[in-house]
């Protein structure tokens, strides 16, 4: 049979017989795999490139004949009619003809510059990665907004998460070296939730194209692709489609991950980046923009909001707490299958029982089904509608019961964070932490009429929440002022990964302190001078006394100020209580801008929204908080960190 080898930390499978590499967790074009024995040096980057295996076999055969018979100067013609000459064991060249030949039909070796040919991998400076640690301590799902590109370079969420993962591996080696050497930790796996392709069937982009005016074409399509996202998410029809698709994809990935990593005992966290499409880039005119084939217009900033709405609508049932993570991994029990049979019997659909049994459906899995899932199982339209109506009515009844119970038993019932009327699916796991990067959650809550978040409120199944943003990010908003509206305080400054503030920030703070001190001293001197000028003329003795008084007051003035300063510092250092949304800890974290970014805030605003994927400071905070839940800390605590 075809031997399959898992590579790249288990995210790809290599099918050896077919010589193909296929992605496991997301859709990606299958890549060719070659067994490398013969190489030629490329023109542009001077890297050695392997020949195709059939031609490598011909080269090897010719080489062995030349070595055996000691007959060199052999010529071989490649499949693309290029000439390879074996001069001697150490000198083998590849003549690459130019695209056009002249009228005289010059020979290939006259047309192109020769390339170096090499046999074997010896002395090739190939950057072969050493591989990732096998042990996975924690799983993080990264969710984007609606759209296939995730940054200004038009890269997909898969490429951006690859960057994030690479940075995390280097941060582990730099800041968790002790724990790695003692084999207490392995690594954190980051998987992209690439769910936009599931929305092809809605056809809304075609309908919008039909009604869009032809004038100011680029601006109208930019509005269709970004600003209208808010209205689509606030429409109950499309909101339901979006949350169903996101939740089902996250659950599918979780089950697939467990099936491939049966020994995994770590937790699961989720991260949401607000950008879905290149909201800050130059609007690309139609049809290039829509050739990505999305069913919905591309959302500019809904990734983290979708997750927040999903998490606020999760149910923390006591029986789920007792079962823990093991319950979601267990195979469907006979009791669960029996419940599904009873439901189908109630709906007069008993003839489909075998289909559900074949798919190992229990009651929980049935309630996670979307119309697309049922369609893929071969359930006809009529029965599909009956099942979906049953699921919908049961969910509404559960929500009514939960609201009544909350109003009676809890002095602070759950706030109406989501005004969109939708049935929010349940995740198969309880996330440990929710990380929001450059998120407008605060703005959306305010627009929905939420003036204040109750300090005692926490997400039902997720006890950690971090709102991380760049100071110039135009899409990011704070959360903490909604919990503590009366106090004014700055967000937590994210420590630099090298353990200090950036030089320009320290310089700015030093200059600010210096200017304040100068201002205070100058005001004190002016006050004394003014008092001496405005005082009435006195005899000489009294004048001397007045001078002494003035000096005394001048001496006392700085002392008073000096005494006030520590009090102010004490007030600043006093702990700020921001409620239970992050378990009593701070929620808002701001990155330190780079020196060049501080010159012009507007120029770097869009870049500020796209910086999180390659930000060592962001990655280090994520790793620090994840490993802290396992009792593992940084080798050296960073100054200013909580």
Render pLDDT for 203-225 as a digit per residue (tens, 0 to 9).
Answer: 666 777 888 898 988 777 766 66
Contacts of 403-412 with C-beta under 8 Å, sequence gap 24+, read: 412/454, 412/456, 412/457
Q: Please give the residue that has the higher pLDDT: either 611 or 463.
A: 463
Q: Choose among 178, 237, 173, 250: nearest CA to 203.
A: 237
Same domain, residue pair 171 and 183: yes
Does pLDDT of 401 surpass 60? no
Mean pLDDT on 234-261: 89
Does pLDDT of 479 surpass 90? yes
Does pLDDT of 284 surpass 70? no
- Radius of gyration over every alpha carbon of the chain, rounded to an integer in angstroms: 33
Q: Which of 8-17, 35-44, 469-478, 592-601 has the highest mean pLDDT?
A: 8-17
Same domain, residue pair 210 and 155: yes
Residue 359 belongs to domain with CATH number: 1.10.150.50
Q: Please give the residue that has the higher pLDDT: either 319 or 269.
A: 269
Mean pLDDT lowest among 353-367, 457-471, 525-539, 542-556: 542-556
Per-residue confidence (pLDDT) for residue 415, from 0 to 100: 45
Same domain, residue pair 391 and 437: no
Same domain, residue pair 250 and 172: yes
Per-residue confidence (pLDDT) for residue 39, from 0 to 100: 86
* Model confidence pLDDT, tens digit, residues 74-119: 788 877 777 888 888 888 888 876 554 444 444 444 456 788 888 8
Instruction: Determine, yes or no, domain membership for 538.
Output: no
Per-residue confidence (pLDDT) for residue 356, from 0 to 100: 86
Does pLDDT of 289 surpass 50? no
Instruction: Determine, yes or no, domain membership for 462.
Output: yes
Mean pLDDT on 118-132: 75
Mean pLDDT lowest among 39-43, 188-192, 636-640: 636-640
Instruction: Determine, yes or no, domain membership for 458.
Output: yes
Q: Please work out, in degrees rounded to the nearest 5, the angle formed at the alpha carbon of residue 128 by the alpha carbons of 123 and 132.
A: 150
Per-residue confidence (pLDDT) for residue 14, from 0 to 100: 94
Mean pLDDT on 245-266: 94
Task: Reduce the DSSP state of residue 67 to 3 states and report it.
Answer: helix
Cβ atoms 119, 56 nearer than 8 A: no
* Model confidence pLDDT, tens digit, residues 486-511: 889 999 988 887 766 544 444 455 55
Per-residue confidence (pLDDT) for residue 498, from 0 to 100: 78
Per-residue confidence (pLDDT) for residue 94, from 0 to 100: 82
Same domain, residue pair 65 and 28: no
Mean pLDDT lowest among 13-27, 382-396, 567-581: 567-581
Structure tokens at 58: 């011909």
Kindly give, in sequence order, each residue whose CB lies less than 8 Å from that of residue 18, ignoring residues fewer than 6 positions away: 2
Phi-psi region of 183 (alpha: psi -120 to 50; beta: other; left: phi over 0): left
Q: Are strands 492-493 and 464-469 parallel, antiparallel or unpaired?
A: unpaired
Q: Please give the residue that has the higher pLDDT: either 101 or 371.
A: 371
Q: In what order do the strands lie in the sheet with 114-119?
A: 48-50, 38-41, 114-119, 91-95, 83-88, 74-77
Mean pLDDT on 429-447: 92
CA–CA distances in Å: residue 357 to residues 181, 254, 339, 374, 384: 47, 21, 11, 13, 16
Q: Choose among 521, 201, 621: nearest CA to 370.
A: 201
Does pLDDT of 449 surpass 70? yes
Instruction: Determine, yes or no, domain membership for 319.
Output: no
* Model confidence pLDDT, tens digit, residues 522-555: 767 777 766 665 655 544 444 444 454 555 554 4
Same domain, residue pair 20 and 47: no
Q: Please give the Cα distance from 153 to 145 (Å, whole number).
A: 16
Cβ atoms 59, 38 nearer than 8 A: yes
Q: Please give the Cα distance from 341 to 330 (Å, whole number).
A: 19
Q: Please give the Cα distance from 583 to 603 (Å, whole number).
A: 37
Confidence of residue 248 (pLDDT cuts 50, 70, 90): very high
Cβ atoms 148, 292 nearer than 8 A: yes
Per-residue confidence (pLDDT) for residue 320, from 0 to 100: 46
Average pLDDT for the chain: 75
Same domain, residue pair 153 and 203: yes
Bridge partners of residue 273, in order along the sequence = 437
* Residue 29 structural domain: 1-35
Cβ atoms 2, 11 nearer than 8 A: no
Confidence of residue 639 (pLDDT cuts 50, 70, 90): low
**198 included as an active-site residue:** no
Q: For the CA atoms of 409, 411, 415, 421, what is the dihedral angle to 10 degrees?
A: 30
Per-residue confidence (pLDDT) for residue 98, from 0 to 100: 58
Per-residue confidence (pLDDT) for residue 563, from 0 to 100: 42
Q: Please give the Cα distance from 581 to 455 (Å, whole number).
A: 7
Let me know if 376 is exposed, middle or buried by CB neighbors in 10 A (0-12, 13-18, 19+).
exposed
Kindly give, in sequence order, each residue whose CB lies less than 8 Å from that of residue 371, ignoring residues fewer than 6 positions away: 384, 388
Phi-psi region of 32 (alpha: psi -120 to 50; beta: other; left: phi over 0): beta
Same domain, residue pair 22 and 79: no
Q: Which of 274, 418, 458, 615 is catalytic?
A: 274
Same domain, residue pair 6 and 68: no
Instruction: Determine, yes or no, domain membership for 261.
Output: yes
Other C-beta atoms lying within 10 Å of the C-beta of residue 248: 18
Same domain, residue pair 302 and 441: yes
Let me know if 205 is exposed, middle or buried by CB neighbors in 10 A (0-12, 13-18, 19+).
buried
Instruction: Determine, yes or no, domain membership for 253.
Output: yes
Domain count, the chain: 4
Does pLDDT of 365 surpass 50? yes
Q: Give the percent of the chain with pLDDT over 90.
A: 25
CA–CA distances in Å: residue 495 to residues 94, 276, 329, 505: 53, 28, 38, 12
Does pLDDT of 172 surpass 50? yes
Q: Please give the residue that has the higher pLDDT: either 613 or 593.
A: 613
Same domain, residue pair 159 and 48: no
Instruction: Determine, yes or no, domain membership for 536.
Output: no
Cβ atoms 31, 20 nearer than 8 A: yes
Q: Please give the residue that has the higher pLDDT: either 198 or 347.
A: 347
Instruction: Determine, yes or no, domain membership for 129.
Output: no
Per-residue confidence (pLDDT) for residue 408, from 0 to 100: 34
Same domain, residue pair 141 and 228: yes
Q: Which of 224-233, 264-273, 324-333, 557-566 has the highest mean pLDDT?
A: 264-273
Per-residue confidence (pLDDT) for residue 512, from 0 to 100: 56
Confidence of residue 261 (pLDDT cuts 50, 70, 90): very high
Q: Please give the residue that has the higher pLDDT: either 441 or 74.
A: 441
Per-residue confidence (pLDDT) for residue 197, from 0 to 100: 59
Does pLDDT of 455 surpass 80? yes
Please tell me whether the overall predicted TM-score, pTM, comes out greater than 0.75 for this model.
no
Per-residue confidence (pLDDT) for residue 422, from 0 to 100: 81
């Amino acid at each position: 049979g075809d031997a399959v080898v898992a590579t790249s930390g288990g995210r790809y499978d290599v099918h050896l017989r077919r010589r193909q590499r296929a992605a496991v967790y997301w859709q990606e074009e299958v890549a060719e795999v070659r067994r490398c024995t013969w190489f030629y040096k490329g023109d542009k980057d001077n890297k050695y490139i392997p020949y195709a295996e059939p031609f490598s076999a011909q080269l090897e055969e010719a080489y062995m004949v030349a070595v055996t018979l000691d007959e060199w100067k052999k010529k071989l013609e490649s499949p693309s009619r290029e000439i390879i000459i074996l001069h001697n064991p150490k000198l083998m060249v590849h003549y690459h003809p130019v695209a056009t030949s002249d009228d005289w039909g010059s020979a290939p070796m006259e047309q192109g510059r020769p390339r170096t040919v090499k046999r074997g991998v010896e002395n090739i400076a190939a950057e072969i990665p050493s591989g990732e640690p096998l042990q996975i301590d924690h799983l993080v799902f990264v969710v984007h907004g609606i759209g296939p590109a995730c940054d200004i370079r038009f890269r997909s969420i898969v490429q951006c998460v690859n960057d994030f993962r690479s940075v995390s591996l280097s941060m582990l080696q730099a800041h968790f070296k002790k724990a790695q050497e003692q084999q207490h930790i392995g690594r954190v796996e980051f998987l992209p939730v690439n769910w936009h392709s599931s929305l092809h069937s809605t056809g809304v982009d075609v309908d919008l194209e039909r009604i869009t005016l032809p004038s100011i074409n680029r601006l109208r399509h930019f509005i269709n692709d970004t600003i209208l996202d808010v209205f689509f998410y606030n429409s109950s029809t499309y909101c339901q489609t979006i949350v169903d698709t996101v939740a089902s994809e996250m659950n599918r990935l979780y089950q697939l991950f467990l099936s491939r990593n049966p020994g995994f005992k770590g937790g699961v966290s989720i991260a949401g980046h607000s950008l879905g499409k290149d909201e800050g880039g130059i609007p690309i005119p139609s049809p290039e923009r829509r050739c990505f084939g999305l069913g919905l217009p591309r959302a500019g900033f809904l990734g983290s909001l979708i997750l927040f709405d999903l998490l606020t609508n999760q149910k923390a049932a006591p029986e789920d707490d007792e079962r823990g993570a093991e319950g979601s991994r267990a195979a469907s029990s006979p009791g669960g299958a029996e419940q599904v049979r009873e439901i189908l019997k109630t709906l007069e659909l008993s003839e489909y029982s075998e289909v559900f049994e074949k798919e190992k459906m229990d009651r929980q899995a049935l309630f996670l089904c979307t119309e697309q899932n049922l369609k893929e199982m071969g359930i006809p339209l009529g029965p599909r509608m009956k099942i979906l109506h049953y699921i919908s009515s049961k969910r509404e009844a559960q929500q009514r019961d939960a609201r009544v119970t909350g109003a009676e038993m809890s002095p602070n019932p759950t706030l109406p964070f989501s005004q969109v009327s939708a049935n929010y699916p349940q995740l198969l796991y309880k996330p440990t932490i929710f990380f929001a990067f450059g998120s407008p959650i605060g703005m959306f809550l305010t627009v929905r009429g939420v003036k204040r978040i109750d300090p005692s409120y926490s997400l039902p199944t997720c006890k950690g929440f971090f709102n991380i943003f760049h100071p110039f990010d135009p899409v990011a908003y704070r959360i903490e002022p909604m919990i503590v509206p009366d106090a004014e305080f700055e967000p937590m400054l994210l420590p630099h990964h090298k353990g200090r503030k950036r030089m320009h920030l320290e310089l700015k703070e030093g200059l600010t302190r210096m200017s304040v001190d100068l201002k205070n001293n100058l005001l004190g001197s002016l006050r004394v001078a003014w008092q001496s000028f405005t005082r009435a003329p006195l005899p000489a003795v009294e004048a001397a006394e007045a001078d002494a008084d003035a000096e005394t007051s001048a001496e006392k003035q700085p002392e008073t100020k000096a005494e006030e300063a520590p009090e102010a510092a004490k007030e600043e250092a006093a702990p700020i209580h921001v409620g239970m949304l992050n378990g009593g800890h701070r929620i808002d974290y701001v990155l330190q801008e780079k020196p060049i970014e501080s010159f012009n805030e507007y120029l770097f605003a869009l870049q500020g929204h796209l910086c999180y994927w390659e930000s060592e400071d962001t990655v280090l905070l994520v790793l620090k908080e994840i490993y802290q839940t396992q009792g593992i800390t940084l080798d050296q605590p960073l100054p200013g960190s909580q």
